[in-house]
Amino acid sequence: METMKFIALVGILIAMIAVVAEVATPEIRCKLGLDKCVEEPDSQRAQQLELEQQRAELEREKSRLREEARQIEQARLRAEQQAKQIELAILRAEQEARRAAEQARLKASYRYADNGNGTVTDNKTALIWLKNANCFGRQNWKTAMQKAANLASGRCGLRDGSTRGMWRLPTKEEWEAMIDDKYVKKDWSQPALSNAAGTGPWQEGDAFSGVQAYLYWSSASYAGDTSYAWDVSLHYGDVYSYDKTNTRYVWPVRGGD
């Protein structure tokens, strides 16, 4: 009886193994010992490894390209910012150039142009005057001539690089050209000079400083008596001859020779 049960169990087990053998994959059959295990060829493993390496390389390349794209975008943004800054700088330069041109145009149209170095240019005569019209006070004619001849940059507010011998007293004719008849006064209150623009009477600092409504020496001796020299009355606008021992104001000029 026991033998019969054992035989029946063995038969059932064999039947189950047969069923499993029919549906099992080669790998399972290999593990169950039903079939001989077949190892994957070396070439297939090598191909698989190569594919994995290629995938890894591809991912690295993608990462590199993404980083390059990010850097390129940053560079583009920086370039745009720099372009905007350059454009603004160009606009500012153009505006400054227009302002400078307008100032130059106005300066050229003015009677007097302050050169910013202690000198003023008379655009009517092209003479360059000392801005300070009262640097030396009142002197006799000989001393006035010496003071003017010895004037140089660093004195009387000059910063123009001029040297001794470049400055002199104005001639009689230069004084006559300097006078503006529209502003002649008979009460000694106002020099007969125009303002820088030539549109009104002179005022302190426009363009000269220290102008005295009194007498100034010229460089010219009186032909009839060389002990006399010509001077100009800035309040009357007239030119007279006086003894050189008299004292008059000194206003140096250069150029126009």
How many CB atoms within 10 Å of residue 138? 17
**Cα separation values, 106 from 4, 10, 111, 194, 199, Å:** 134, 125, 10, 16, 13
Q: Over 90: is that where the pLDDT of 107 sits?
A: no
Specify the DSSP class assigned to residue 237.
T
Which pLDDT value is given to residue 221?
A: 98
| Whether pLDDT at 193 is above 70 | yes
Q: Which CATH architecture has domain 116-254?
A: Roll (3.10)
Contacts of 244 (CB under 8 A, 6+ apart): 140, 141, 142, 221, 227, 228, 229
Classify residue 102 by burial, with Cβ atoms within 10 Å: 0-12, 13-18, 19+: exposed
Provide the residue ranges of all domains of the chain, joining segments of one domain with +.
Answer: 2-32, 41-109, 116-254
- Per residue in 211-241, pLDDT (tens digit) is 999 999 999 999 999 999 999 999 888 999 9
Q: Which of 221, 121, 215 is nearest to 172 (CA)?
A: 221
Label residue 33 by pLDDT band (50, 70, 90): low
**Model-level pTM?**
0.61
- Asked if residue 257 has pLDDT above 60, the reply is no
Tokens 């001796």, located at residue = 221
pLDDT digits 0-9 by tens, 39-74? 556 778 888 888 888 888 888 888 888 988 899 989
Q: Are 123 and 235 contacting, i.e. CB atoms less than 8 angstroms apart?
A: no
Query: If you average pLDDT over residues 179-187, what whole number do you get?
Result: 85
